[in-house]
């Protein structure tokens, strides 16, 4: 098991140890648009609430027929796994995660905040709207922690987070090589670990990893696949693909590459700079209903990473991706890109998925959707 996967598995122990060491507070966040920099500047540890499949006989009572990630997160609250979390925040986004947030509040009386982020991210007023929402949130954070969020603190947080995103991007770029030194499962473990750890500590780990990975024996050239769809919380699918001799070389998941794709461009008005970063990040379907930038982004990633085909994995009951799939399918069909679509829940049904993947992998030809030979000239 790679060491980053262990960090994900031990995330509750990690957060508790962080609290004991620093005396700080942990803030749990639900949606991918959460402006972590603000909470970090207040001295808190921002932790993405990750779903984890566990026996669940409780969440159905609270959230009937919702997607499994949202129910799993609630289940962990009901089981007490998140008792160490001192505050929770939901950013305007998917309805099911909002249910998980609201239901958690019925079971636990803790500081909380609902942060509005416009669905029309590129409307003329969106920047100012989000900026004012961030100012309200800043006040809440100061009240919860007793710490003043100064410009200096914000600058420090922005620097740590920008560095973190650049390091992740550097590691991610390694996946472009024809014979890469890192495969998709390990990359996804790194990104997931990044979302539950202190970013300053994570930056040190990522720098050390970048040094160490250069000396690795590269993997063999193999079929390169792109992963698109609902967010993921483990690396089961990536591992299954690798077991079958292929590799997920690029993804377009909310908590995959979209998490770190763009940086904050510093400016005097720090809150505005943060607002712009979150409004301009690669969008998930619910924030992409104005100019429809998502299909183009998928296409660019597919080309840049020289993928040979696409896997679309949707969580059951994920209405966001369910309603956006038509646009992705259209894009792929127009470009003759082979793709496989399937629905999953927190567990990947192994035998069935393996059978379908085997069949898909057997008919996808390396380089067939690129100008002949072009993907062979990268190194
Ligand atoms: S899987 Fe889909 S429906 Fe569920 S929380 Fe994520 S975006 Fe929302």
Residue 136 within a domain: yes
So what's the pLDDT on residue 55? 84
Supply the CATH number for residue 128's domain. Answer: 3.40.50.11890
Residue 161 within a domain: no
Tokens at residue 70, please? 């949202």
So what's the pLDDT on residue 378? 42
Q: In what order do the strands lie in the sheet with 223-229?
A: 246-252, 223-229, 309-315, 339-344
**Long-range pairs, 5-9, Cβ under 8 A, ≥24:** 5/189, 5/193, 5/235, 7/189, 7/193, 7/196, 7/197, 8/50, 8/189, 8/192, 8/193, 8/196, 8/234
pLDDT < 50 positions in the chain: 372-379
So what's the pLDDT on residue 60? 82
Q: In what order do the strands lie in the sheet with 87-91?
A: 45-48, 26-29, 87-91, 112-115
Task: Name the phi and psi angles at 211, rounded to 5.
Answer: -65, -45
Tell how far the Cα of 339 is from the centroid of ligand 1, in angstroms.
Answer: 21
pTM (two decimals): 0.95
So what's the pLDDT on residue 56? 85
Tell how far the Cα of 305 is from the centroid of ligand 1, in angstroms.
Answer: 26
Residue 15 within a domain: yes
Residue 122 within a domain: yes
Q: Into how many domains does the chain fold?
A: 1
Domain of 146 in residue numbering reads as: 2-153
For 274-324, write each residue's pLDDT tens digit. Answer: 999 999 999 999 998 777 899 999 999 999 999 999 999 999 999 999 999
Residue 67 within a domain: yes
Residue 17 within a domain: yes
So what's the pLDDT on residue 371? 54
Which residue ranges have their beta carbon within 6 Å of ligand 1? 67, 69-70, 94, 96-97, 230-231, 315, 318-321
For 256-272, write each residue's pLDDT tens digit. Answer: 999 999 999 999 999 99
Tell how far the Cα of 365 is from the centroid of ligand 1, in angstroms.
Answer: 32
Residue 182 within a domain: no
Residue 128 within a domain: yes
Q: Are 235 and 200 in contact (CB under 8 A)?
A: no
């Amino acid at each position: 098991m790679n060491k980053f996967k262990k960090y994900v598995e031990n995330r509750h122990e990690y957060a508790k140890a962080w609290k004991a060491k620093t005396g700080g507070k942990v803030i749990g966040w639900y949606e991918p648009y959460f402006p972590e920099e603000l909470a970090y500047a207040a001295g808190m540890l921002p932790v993405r609430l990750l779903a984890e499949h566990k026996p669940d006989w409780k969440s159905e009572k609270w959230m009937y027929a919702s997607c499994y990630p949202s129910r799993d997160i609630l289940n962990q609250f009901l089981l007490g796994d998140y008792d160490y979390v001192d505050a929770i925040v939901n950013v305007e986004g998917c309805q099911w995660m909002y249910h998980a947030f609201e239901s958690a509040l019925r079971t636990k009386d803790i500081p909380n905040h609902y942060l509005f982020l416009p669905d029309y991210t590129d409307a003329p007023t969106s920047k100012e709207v989000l900026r004012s929402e961030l100012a309200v949130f800043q006040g809440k954070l100061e009240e919860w922690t007793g710490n003043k969020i100064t410009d200096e603190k914000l600058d420090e947080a922005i620097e740590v987070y920008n560095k973190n995103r650049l390091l992740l991007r550097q590691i991610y770029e390694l996946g472009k090589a024809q014979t890469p030194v890192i495969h998709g499962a390990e990359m996804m473990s790194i990104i997931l670990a990044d979302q539950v750890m202190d970013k300053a500590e994570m930056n040190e780990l990522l720098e050390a990893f970048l040094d160490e990975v250069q000396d690795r024996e590269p993997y063999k050239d193999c079929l390169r696949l792109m992963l698109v769809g609902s967010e993921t919380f483990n690396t089961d699918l990536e591992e299954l693909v690798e077991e079958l001799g292929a590799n997920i070389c690029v993804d377009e998941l909310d908590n995959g590459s979209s998490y770190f794709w763009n940086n904050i461009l510093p400016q005097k008005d720090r809150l505005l700079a943060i607002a712009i970063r979150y409004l301009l990040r690669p969008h998930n379907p619910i924030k992409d209903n104005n100019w429809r930038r998502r299909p183009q982004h998928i296409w660019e990633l597919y080309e840049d990473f020289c993928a040979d085909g696409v896997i679309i994995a949707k969580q059951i009951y994920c209405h966001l991706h369910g309603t956006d799939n038509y646009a992705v399918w259209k894009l792929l069909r127009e470009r003759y890109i082979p793709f496989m679509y399937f629905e999953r829940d927190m567990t990947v049904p192994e035998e069935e998925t393996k059978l379908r993947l085997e069949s898909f992998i057997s008919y996808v030809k390396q380089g067939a959707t690129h100008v002949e030979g072009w993907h062979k000239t990268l190194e």
